[in-house]
Chains A and B, each alone.
Chain A
Amino acid sequence: MTGFWPSRVLKKGRVVETRDEMKRESRVMWPSLLERTSNGNVECPTNAIIDEKWFGERCIFCRRCDGLFSPTEKGAGYEITSINPFFKKSLYLFPIDTGSCGSCNEELHLIFSPQYDANRFGIFMAATPRHADVIFVMGVINERMREVLERVIEATPEPKTLVLSGTCAISGGIMGEGFSGKFENIVKIFGCPPTPANIIEALIELKGGEK
């Protein structure tokens, strides 16, 4: 009987975490912001380390540089071209999988899990690009999906933002090519895959605050 659910949920108490709690509870070594801790040469498979500098958008967090670069357990980070407070009350995402391994898809779904509860920040999923503010791209972009992505971009009303979630979508990583087209409003979320906490932080900043 579904009547069991409310009593069970009440018994459990609060599961939803504050932003500080979710950052603390979900912290992980890889992917996280990397810091140089000692000198030496690194053979980076994605050229994420050039001249002692680390580029989060290319990093697949393969641990090859472990020892020279250390994980800080802080969010791997993101880049936003322009903040749009127009979406402060609600931001609708249309996800498109252009060639992901499935982990980006799962992490996106988890931002709506009770711990993160993205809905409370005004972040929702849209069933069609016609109702979306954000096109949420996951995975490398192959020839067939490039056309689908172009049609999704075309179908999304202005003002629209393109979110490239994870190294594959941003730079291709080791798996192929990332997004190479021109787009005015772009958000790049680093990670392989980006953690739910990192995705939420990037989206909150994009919309100019919590609500």
Chain B
Amino acid sequence: MNYFEFSEEVDEIRGITESFIVGKKKISRNTLKWENEVKGERDILFSYGPSTAGLMESIGFRFLTPGEKIKDTLIDYKWKERTLNIKGKNVSDAIMYIERMNGVHAISNSIAFIISCLDAAYIEIKEETKESFIMMIEIERIRSNLIVIKRLCESASLSVPMYELSSLIEKISRIIGKHFGHRYFFSYIFSGKMVETEVLVNEIEEVVDEFVEIYSILLESKIFINRLVRNGIIKKGILIGPAARGAGIPADARFDSMSLKYEHIRIVKENFGDAFARFLVRSREVMESMEIIRNLHIRSIQLNRMELNPKNIKGQGAARIEGPAGDIFFFTELENGKLKNVEYSSASYINTLSFKSSMSGNIFTDFHFNWESFGIWVSEMAVNFQ
């Protein structure tokens, strides 16, 4: 492993897998235990989900409440759990499964997985491949952030910006589909298809320019702001991605991980740690992602199948990259080029823990704004590997 080492303790928690706690550069054994608040005499458990209006994916909530204020939130994210049969498969076959852990973050998960496999073989990634990875991840981040902001507008009943943002999401999906052959990048990595970046970047820029106008109008909407400000405040605990940066913590794997380090990155931060701060961070990161894309030197993206799928790898590898919702971590163990063991930390899992903490003291009416502000995808949490 180039980027990580095993240790008794980690400095700053950036990921949790089934067996490991992941730090910035260290991995230790997972000994964390989560305790729920005990039900008092006057408390009730109010159930919501797994399949109901207002939830995009299947997930079960039980709110511990004496009537109005929520004391604790019990979350069952395993309703739609899926098993990925990837052990014993080679890297290019396993990618089909990794992409479908979370279709909306398919390319970020795939790239983190590939980097960890290459790390197992001590293979350095070429500079132009790195830039190609960054471009695809940042395009995916732009769309992912737009989806979160759209969902925030939807829960806040702001239909006009919600439809405007839906239109932009559709535009980006069409651009990705046109250039990469699939609207969610599925099966692009090993396709060998070349993508010219000049037209691609100009098209993405047009969408971002439109978003900037929508963002500036949203900032003047008192209804929108009042629904998000002081909602779901969280400043302590394990925080990653936009949730951490919304709380003033400069946690960003683009800056502090060696797996895929960016040359130039300005960390977007806010200090209040509420749903509005998370909205501000995500919105400004749309513009920051565009800036990163513009500064890349590559003129085309063409990934080398042989380089990314070397034969007969044996060893352990790990990678941590900044996905759209925060740190994505993969640990892989390969033997004769086939996967023997896989461990994965999803940003959504850590964000769910943060969401749970932030709900204490909140009321149910504020639940949706707070939930959507974390940009959680249940699909990527509810997976296990076989």
B82 contacts A140, CB within 8 Å?
yes
Q: How large is the interface on B (under 10, 10 to 19, 20 to 34, 35 or more residues)?
A: 35 or more
B221 contacts A2, CB within 8 Å?
yes
B82 contacts A110, CB within 8 Å?
no
B96 contacts A8, CB within 8 Å?
no
B97 contacts A99, CB within 8 Å?
no
B80 contacts A114, CB within 8 Å?
no
B187 contacts A63, CB within 8 Å?
yes
B residues near A99, Cβ cutoff 8 Å: 58, 80-82
Q: How far is the CA of A175 from the CA of B79 in the complex (A)?
A: 15
A5 contacts B217, CB within 8 Å?
yes
Q: Tell me whether A25 and B174 are in contact in the complex, defined as CB-CB below 8 angstroms, given that A15-B167, A96-B51, A148-B50 are known contacts.
A: yes
Q: Tell me whether A176 and B104 are in contact in the complex, defined as CB-CB below 8 angstroms, given that A110-B170, A148-B58, A196-B170 are known contacts.
A: no
Q: Which residues of A contact B (CB under 8 A)?
A: 1-2, 4-5, 8-9, 15, 25-26, 28-31, 45, 60-63, 66, 71, 96-107, 109-110, 112-116, 125, 127-128, 139-140, 142, 144-145, 148, 152, 173-176, 192-193, 195-196
CB contacts under 8 Å to A, within B79-114, are 79-84, 93, 96-97, 99-104, 106
B186 contacts A176, CB within 8 Å?
no
Q: How far is the CA of A139 from the CA of B383 in the complex (A)?
A: 13
A28 contacts B169, CB within 8 Å?
no
A30 contacts B51, CB within 8 Å?
no
A142 contacts B187, CB within 8 Å?
no
Interface-forming stretch among B30-38, B177-185, B245-253, B273-281?
B177-185
Q: Which residues of B contact A (CB under 8 A)?
A: 50-54, 56-58, 78-84, 93, 96-97, 99-104, 106, 147, 158, 160-161, 163-164, 166-167, 169-170, 173-174, 177-178, 181-184, 186-187, 190-191, 213, 217, 220-221, 223, 377-380
A residues near B57, Cβ cutoff 8 Å: 97, 100, 102, 105
B187 contacts A61, CB within 8 Å?
yes
A103 contacts B166, CB within 8 Å?
no
B80 contacts A100, CB within 8 Å?
yes
B213 contacts A60, CB within 8 Å?
no
B residues near A63, Cβ cutoff 8 Å: 181, 187, 190-191
B residues near A66, Cβ cutoff 8 Å: 191
